[in-house]
Amino acid sequence: MDSQLEKGQGTAEGTLGGVAGGAARRGWPRGRRAAPAPDGGDFPAKLAALVRQRLPYLNGLFNALTDRRAPDDCLYTPATILWMVVLGFLCRKGSRNAMDADRNTGAAPANLMALSGQRRWPQGRPLTAPCTQTATRFLDILLPDRLEQVLVAVAYSLLRAKILDGARLGGRVLVAVDGTKQENFRRWSAPWRRKYRYVLHAKIIGPDGTAFTVMAEPCDHYDSERGKLDCELAAFKRLSARLKAAFPRLDICLLGDALFACEAVFGICEGYGWKFIFTLKEGSHPAAYDEALDLLPLSRGNAARVTAPDFLQDTRWVDGVAFGARNLSVVFQGEIDGTALYFCAWVTNLLIPKPERARGIAAAGRCRSRIEESYNVQKNGGFGLEHAFRETDRGAANYHLLMQLAHNLWQLLCKGCLRRACAGCRKLTDVCLASLLAEALHARPPPDGALPAFQLRFSDA
């Protein structure tokens, strides 16, 4: 191409061409060197390495689930069916139609079979992946508590491997409880039905901003005696009993919002030997809140301060605050970080012998926001929380449990490995990583040889 300008042409103002020396002028700032482009070709192999090294029992648990299908008529194993849904959530499909759209594209069926461990296939038949209708028929007859045991097994193995020890408080595992809307209820055929499904979660707080779902309890049961729908406190009573049965010897410290700061929850925690840190609001317990403020001037020694340039954090606490018939401790923390202000109070039954323990209680109380962050990721990050995957209660509950399993796997894969491998790409989001995983599942066949070395390590562990 001729670089000379024709007659009557001129250079635009403000461009390098109008400067003496043109674009070749020396001395212009070159800027920051570009980071290497992320290569997602090995993401499926890393996912398989994570499952085989850390969770080798998953396929066995999947295939051990109750299967009422005729064995001679089954083309896919239960593990293959369930992994197809889990991969759909991992790739942020967000709906059943999106999962079905490209399930048979490229090497996706081969990667699915390699991940599920299915080796039998009719000779001469093209390799395919099951559709979500096949998965729905299987999930409609599966009891949700059987599938929930998979989540419990994953949490148990992570605790046994001491992967989550970096987030403990005084040796106790932090478990956050909170409720959220599971999905909208389809009311086309019956407009008088409830509008949505609500669910209560118990999530283990881990390092590096992680929160792993352990159990999910539906909150929308209809109580015929009271004539009203279920509430979070009634669901917590059922959830706490199942949590204690699943982890009878685990030292647990519960985290919750101001709704759980009540006598019913206090009694359950005392009976199970659990500690708790609940948000305290002035409107929820006005008498206890005022008493804690009155006791602050009398507890001048109960204070801890952290200072840094443009940062100030004050933590105060008082003991022996009356909450009905029991005396508990209240921790206050105020923080100034540049122009950002923060203040919150918590009620706890933990002893506070040192200022470091008070700061640890406040830090643990602030970790309760991670369960809200996990809901935000699942709602707005492509997982499809609040999307109606199935009309029946049993099928919808099973789809929701598979979504929680996929979110747990994504946190292990992304924050335990992929973020470290892509550290140079500062602006690479989780959605971009999920799209790279989806592309690699379709483009790259499963590896024939040994899987790549996989090390699960969190940044702040």
Token reading at 32: 């920051």
pLDDT tens-digit readout, 122-167: 999 999 999 999 999 999 999 999 999 999 999 999 999 999 999 9
The pLDDT of residue 227 is 45
**What is the domain partition of the chain in residue ranges?**
40-139+393-443, 275-355
pTM of the model: 0.89
Strand, helix or coil for residue 152: helix
- pLDDT at residue 7 above 70? no
Between 396 and 425, residue with greater pLDDT: 396
Between 332 and 226, residue with greater pLDDT: 332
Under a CB-based contact definition with an 8 Å cutoff, are residues 328 and 321 in contact?
A: yes
End-to-end, the C-alpha distance of the chain in Å comes to 57
Question: 1: pLDDT confidence band, cut at 50, 70 and 90?
Answer: very low
Under a CB-based contact definition with an 8 Å cutoff, are residues 109 and 127 in contact?
A: yes
Half-sphere exposure of 306 (CA within 13 A, CB side): 13
pLDDT tens-digit readout, 166-175: 999 999 999 9
The pLDDT of residue 55 is 94
Between 427 and 10, residue with greater pLDDT: 427
pLDDT tens-digit readout, 201-214: 999 999 999 999 99
Token reading at 209: 């901003």
For the chain, percent of residues with pLDDT exceeding 90: 70
Range of weakest confidence among 191-195, 213-217, 263-267, 430-434: 191-195
pLDDT tens-digit readout, 319-342: 999 998 899 999 999 999 988 999
Distance CA 238, CA 232 (A): 10
The pLDDT of residue 457 is 83
Distance CA 173, CA 166 (A): 10
pLDDT tens-digit readout, 254-270: 999 999 999 999 999 99
Under a CB-based contact definition with an 8 Å cutoff, are residues 105 and 93 in contact?
A: no
Distance CA 258, CA 232 (A): 12
Distance CA 114, CA 15 (A): 54
**What average pLDDT does the segment 186-210 reach?**
78
pLDDT tens-digit readout, 355-374: 999 999 999 999 999 999 99
Distance CA 73, CA 122 (A): 12
DSSP β-bridge partners for residue 228: 223
| Mean pLDDT estimate for the chain | 87
**Token pair 């929930």 is at which residue?**
148
Looking at residue 245, the DSSP 8-state letter turns out to be H
Beta strands in 219-325 (DSSP E): 222-223, 228-229, 252-256, 275-279, 303-308, 311-323
pLDDT tens-digit readout, 99-125: 999 999 999 999 999 999 999 999 999
47 φ/ψ angles, rounded to the nearest 5 degrees: -65, -45
